[in-house]
Each structure stands twice: as structure tokens, then as C-alpha cells.
């Protein structure tokens, strides 16, 4: 049986249509039963979407109906959940968010009692539980109904964990601009930067339930770049709606993506003796320049499929400390078991050690071109021999200087063509040839 509800980051869809209160209640009940605890203690946190309170009530009802006690943490970034699990010993945490998606979407993802997102097998078992019987009157109804109450001071608990990790980071006088995407970081991100001494200016910090990710945050980084230049700020950081990713902008308005942030972090953690295993896990989308820089530094690189859950799996398998994605998911296992945008921003400043972000020299990015080609059937890509041969030919031509990656989308009728080459001209030419061939053969 394959998973039908859970994707790579929980259950996600339009709130009230696909992700209904009934489904949320059933998921909360089934996930609570799977913990195996006598009286499960379950944390629920959410982002700022208008549907969050509705789904919070539904999941809480499901947990309570399964005999679990609910602790409501309120609006908090996703990475707060595993840290609070560790602090309080919760058996389960539910995070209600659709990350960087528009406000109409929402999602439910679960963290187990060990602080990690539920495994594929655990999510599959939850789906089987729903298919077996989604009625609360089934056999094995708990003898008592769980309670629902507020977890007071949850934001402060998260801030305390951040402060403890970065206690030696002095940001006195640093002029920082933060874009909080009108999402879950809108309160805690400015607060921790202020506590560490920075002069903080904040944008997109007035959530109204519908403006999350709307023209702001890490998926609209150009807005932050303009404001950094206009305000003469030293550095800017943009988070996404649930706060598990971050991108940066230097004082010249240049965007610094997750690849560059990871390169800075990798060299810093290695030099400070904290890069366990002397390796970094990244995805296939990571820029070739990152691989070159790590090779020169003697740091091993492992590649995974796109998705932070796959990066995390590789980190756990190898026992490594650092991994992430170009999109800004940065996982430092010594601090947290999931991507943490705020921690990623602070790690960047820690790595710079007082230098300006414009002085970064951890890697040299190769020009990259990424084109999404609409196709009739993305499944036909697997048997398109002419495309495979062309990809192999172009990749060989760039061997040691760049690379080619052509792959079907996992969810849309698209084939993604990515080329990295030493010059813009070569990247453009190679990408154009491949896009034309994919359009001709599959489009």
C-alpha cells in the first residue's frame, strides 16, 4: 500500500475542501493511537493562517477522543516542535502549516516522541487506521477522554533554546532587516535578534490570517533585497511561513541562497570541530560550485532527492551534523532535528564571525538555469531515450566544469531542466538545446 494522504511533508491541501475538520480530527485520533502511550501527551502548534484555529480545534478533539492530553503551543515556527518535545517529553507533536504555500492551503505534519518527523511506515499506518475505521465508536475506545489546555510560555521556551545555542554570538550594533512572511516567526525572530544585541527592523510581521507568504518571505526574496538597499541595512534574512527555511540578502542587495549559507556553515563547523563525520548532506539541486568548494576543503558531500526529509534521513544514517537545501532548509543536528530558519540565520552570522556578508568566500556559484517544461505525460520521461542520450552527452561535455540535471516533477506534468556551467552563455546554450528537445519529444 502506498501513502494516499501524506506527501513529503505531511498532509497538505486547501483548508475546508481537502483538509477538512473531519479529516483533521481523524488524523489527530489515529496519530495519537499510534504512539502506544498509556495517556499520550500531544503538543499542537500552528502558523498564522485563518484556518489554523479551526484545524487546531479539530486535531485537539481527535487527540482527546483517543485519550491523549493536548497542550496548545499557539503560533510557533515548525522547528519549535521538536525542541519542545525534548524539553517536555511529549509523545507526539502536530504542526499545522502549509509552509510557503498561499493562505488557503494548510497542512498537518507530525513529529514523534524522539523529535523526528514520522517515518513513511508510521504515516502509512495512520492511513491504514483511517481506512479500517474512522469512527470513534470502534473497539478500544479509551476509558477516559483527554484534556485540552494551553502550554503557557511556549514561545519563551523556544527563545531560550535559541539563546542557549547562540549564547556566545554578539550582534551588538548589527543593522538587520528581517522579513517574517507574516508567518510563524513574526514574534520570536525579531526578539532573539534583539536579545543578541542587533538593531532590528522588521517587515511582514503583521499577520491577518490571509497575508502569509503574500509577496513576502523567502519565496519572494526580491522584496527584501529592495528594502535592504533602500534602508542601507547590513544584512537581511527572509523566512517562510512556518519558519523552517531562510534566505539572506547582503548589503548590496544580492541574494544568498541555501547553498551559500550551508557552505559558510560547513567550513565554520569544521574549523570549530563540530562537523561530525566531516560531511554535508544536500539535494540534487545543490549548485555545482558547492560541490567544488567542499571538495577543495576536504569535506564529503552526500546527495539526496529533493526534500528536507531525505536530507535528514541521510544525516541520521551517516551520523553527520549538517545538511540542507538550496531553498533555505538548513539542519544543524547538534541543535535541532529539522530545518530551522532562525537558527540558520544566526548560524550564518556566527560563521561570518563579524565579517560582512559581502565578504563571503566559502564557495563560488556557477551560473544556473532552471526551466520547467510542460509535458503531456511526465511518466513518459522514463522511456524517452533520445532525451536521456542528449542529457548524457551534454553532461559529459560539462564534466568537471558543471552539470546537467533533467527530471520529471513529482506532482505536476512538468519536466525540470537544470544546467550549471562556468559561464552564463554556456549555461543558456546548453539549457536551450535540452528544453527544445524535451518540448519536441514530450511537450
Report how far residue 364's alpha carbon sits from residue 362's, in angstroms, rounded to the nearest whole number. Answer: 7
Q: Which of 421, 386, 389 is nearest to 403 (CA)?
A: 421
Yes or no: say if 98 and 49 are a contact pair by the CB < 8 Å rule. Answer: yes
Q: Which residues of 287-311 are buried (b: 16+ CB within 10 A; e: fewer)?
A: bbbbbbbbeebebebbebebbbbbb
CA gap 141, 137 in Å, rounded: 7
**Strand-pair category, 175-179 with 199-203:** parallel
Query: What is the sign of the dihedral through the CA atoms of 168, 314, 99 and 248?
Result: positive
Distance CA 266, CA 190 (A): 25
Single out the residue of 422, 362, 356, 434 nearest to residue 394, CA to CA.
434
CA 399 to chain centre: 31
SS3 166: coil
Catalytic residue among 51, 64, 97, 99: 99
Alpha helix positions (H), 363-409: 385-397
Are 324 and 332 in contact by the 8 Å Cβ rule? The answer is no
Q: Is 399 a catalytic residue?
A: no
Sheet holding 175-179, edge to edge: 199-203, 175-179, 235-239, 246-250, 255-256
E strand intervals along 50-169: 69-75, 92-96, 105-112, 148-150
Beta strand extents in 29-104 (DSSP E only): 41-46, 69-75, 92-96
In this structure, are residues 240 and 341 in contact, taking their beta carbons and an 8 Å threshold? yes
CB of 162 closer than 8 Å to CB of 196: no
CB 44 within 8 A of CB 72: yes
Cα separation, 165 vs 155, in Å, equals 16
| Residues identified as active-site | 99
Amino acid at each position: 500500500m502506498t501513502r494516499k494522504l501524506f506527501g513529503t511533508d505531511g498532509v497538505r491541501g486547501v483548508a475546508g475542501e481537502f483538509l477538512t475538520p473531519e479529516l483533521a480530527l481523524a488524523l489527530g485520533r489515529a496519530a495519537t493511537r499510534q504512539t502506544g502511550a498509556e495517556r499520550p501527551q500531544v503538543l499542537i502548534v500552528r502558523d498564522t493562517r485563518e484556518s489554523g484555529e479551526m484545524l487546531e480545534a479539530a486535531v485537539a478533539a481527535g487527540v482527546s477522543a483517543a485519550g491523549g492530553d493536548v497542550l496548545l503551543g499557539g503560533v510557533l515556527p515548525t522547528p519549535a516542535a521538536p525542541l519542545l518535545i525534548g524539553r517536555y517529553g511529549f509523545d507526539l507533536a502536530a504542526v499545522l502549516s502549509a509552509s510557503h504555500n498561499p493562505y488557503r492551503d494548510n497542512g498537518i505534519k507530525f513529529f514523534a516522541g524522539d523529535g523526528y518527523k514520522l517515518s513513511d511506515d508510521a504515516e502509512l499506518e495512520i492511513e491504514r487506521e483511517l481506512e479500517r475505521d474512522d469512527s470513534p465508536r470502534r473497539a478500544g475506545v479509551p476509558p477516559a477522554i483527554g484534556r485540552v489546555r494551553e502550554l503557557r510560555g511556549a514561545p519563551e521556551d523556544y527563545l531560550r533554546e535559541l539563546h542557549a545555542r547562540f549564547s556566545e554570538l554578539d550582534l551588538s550594533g548589527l543593522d538587520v532587516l528581517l522579513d517574517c512572511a507574516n508567518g510563524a516567526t513574526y514574534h520570536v525572530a525579531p526578539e532573539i535578534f534583539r536579545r543578541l544585541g542587533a538593531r532590528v527592523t522588521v517587515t511582514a510581521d503583521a499577520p491577518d490570517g490571509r497575508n502569509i507568504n503574500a509577496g513576502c518571505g523567502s519565496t519572494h526574496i526580491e522584496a527584501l533585497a529592495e528594502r535592504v538597499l533602500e534602508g542601507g541595512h547590513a544584512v537581511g534574512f527572509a523566512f517562510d511561513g512556518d519558519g523552517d527555511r531562510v534566505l539572506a540578502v547582503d548589503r548590496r542587495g544580492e541574494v544568498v541562497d541555501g547553498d551559500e549559507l550551508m557552505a559558510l556553515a560547513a567550513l565554520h563547523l569544521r574549523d570549530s570541530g563540530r562537523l561530525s563525520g566531516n560531511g554535508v548532506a544536500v539535494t540534487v539541486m545543490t549548485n555545482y560550485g558547492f560541490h567544488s568548494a567542499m571538495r577543495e576543503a576536504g569535506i564529503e558531500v552526500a546527495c539526496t532527492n529533493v526534500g528536507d526529509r531525505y536530507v535528514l534521513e541521510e544525516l541520521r544514517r551517516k551520523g553527520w551534523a549538517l545538511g540542507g537545501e538550496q531553498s533555505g532548509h538548513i539542519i544543524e543536528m547538534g541543535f535541532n532535528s529539522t530545518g530551522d530558519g532562525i537558527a540558520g540565520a544566526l548560524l550564518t552570522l556566527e560563521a561570518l564571525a563579524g565579517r560582512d556578508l559581502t565578504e563571503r568566500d566559502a564557495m563560488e556559484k556557477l551560473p544556473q538555469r532552471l526551466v520547467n517544461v510542460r509535458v503531456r505525460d511526465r511518466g513518459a520521461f522514463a522511456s524517452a531515450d533520445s532525451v536521456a542520450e542528449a542529457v548524457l552527452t551534454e553532461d559529459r561535455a560539462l564534466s568537471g566544469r558543471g552539470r546537467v540535471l533533467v527530471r520529471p516533477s513529482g506532482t505536476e506534468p512538468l519536466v525540470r531542466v537544470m544546467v550549471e556551467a562556468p559561464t552564463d552563455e554556456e549555461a543558456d546554450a546548453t539549457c536551450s538545446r535540452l528544453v527544445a528537445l524535451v518540448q519536441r519529444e514530450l511537450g
